[in-house]
Every structure is written in structure tokens, then in C-alpha cells.
Amino acid sequence: MKRIRNFFLIIMLICLSSCKEDVQNTYSNYRAYFVCQNVNTIPQLNAAMNSLGEFATIQLNVSRFIFTDASGNSTPVNMTAIAGSSSISMGLAGFIVGLPNIPEMGSSISTPVCFDLACPNCYSAYNISRALQLKEGGYASCVSCKRTYNLNNQGQVSTGDAGSALFRYRISYSGNTMLINN
């Protein structure tokens, strides 16, 4: 009996170790920390957090955060107005945030998502943070590798060569405060 148990234990360990390289984590390991306590004062961010299928980018430009929607409308906000004295970390190239119009598998309601603004395939291949372009309809595209990512479908590649989905971060949104971290 002990031999049979040991045999099954060894088989289980072999099976688990053989699948190790195929596993992809949902959330990125790249450092990200950003808090915005006045979401309703930034039109692009407010729309992205409260309207299905709407997305916005968040980038740091010297001493200002730039919030941009898919139409190209942007709002600059002084860094000290948002970050104060807290430390921030903008991932690789900034963030794409929004409320997908398709709930994640296993959920009946849509919750906010946050992706890195860097193209994951260009970054993995060349170690270069190439910022994606936000497109209407919940898409982001890379001008370098020509891939388009579907933001409503967990950042999966929708057109172009097959590849990795967008890097993703944890996000919570409650009341008027949004927190991004990993």
C-alpha cells in the first residue's frame, strides 16, 4: 500500500513540474503603485472607471500626470496634486485603466482593469518599453510590432502575430479613490 501511495506521489510531482513553463500569472511582477483620490475631477479617468468599454491612459511626464482617452483628449494634472509626498511607480510605461464591457470568466459583473502601457511582446523581445496607442472600441495597438490588444478581453492579442497578453496590475476603485498596485 505504501508503494502505491509513493508511486502516485511521484507521478503527481512529475506532472506538476512538467507544466511549470506553461503557467502565466494573471498579474505582472513589475513594480506598480499609483493612488488617485479625486477620480471625478479628471474627465478621462472618471469615464474610464464608470462607463463600460471606456479606457484611459495614465502617463508621467516630468512633473505632471497626463490622462488621455481613446479620442486623444487629455488632462494634465500636477504630480503633487495626486501623489503628494507618497512614492509612485508607473510600471514600465504607464497604465491603461478602464471598465471592460465583458465581465471576466466566472464573474457576472464587470470590474475595473489595469494594464501596463508598454507592449509586452516588444518588451520581452527587445527590453524596450514601447508605449501602446489607445484606440476606440477598447483596443490598444503597438506601432512597432503591429499587434492590437483587446482591452475588453483581458488584454489578449486580437490582431497581428500571436503573442503574450498585456501585463496586468491589481486595481481597486471605491467611492472616488482608485488604487493600482501589484
**3-state secondary structure at position 18:** helix
pLDDT mean across residues, the chain? 87
Q: List the chain domain ranges.
A: 28-181
Any idea which residue has 506521489 for its cell?
Answer: 9
Q: φ and ψ at 89, to 5 degrees?
A: -145, 120
The structure's pTM equals 0.82
Residue 2: enclosing H or E segment and its boundaries?
A: helix 2-18
**How many CB atoms within 10 Å of residue 68?**
20
pLDDT in tens, 86-131: 688 999 999 999 999 988 888 889 999 999 999 999 998 888 888 9
Q: Which three cell numbers stand for residue 111?
A: 470590474
Task: Please give the average per-residue pLDDT across 151-173, as a whole number.
Answer: 94
Q: Choose the CATH number for 28-181 among 2.102.10.10, 3.10.450.50, 3.40.50.720, 3.40.50.150.
A: 2.102.10.10
**3-state secondary structure at position 98:** strand
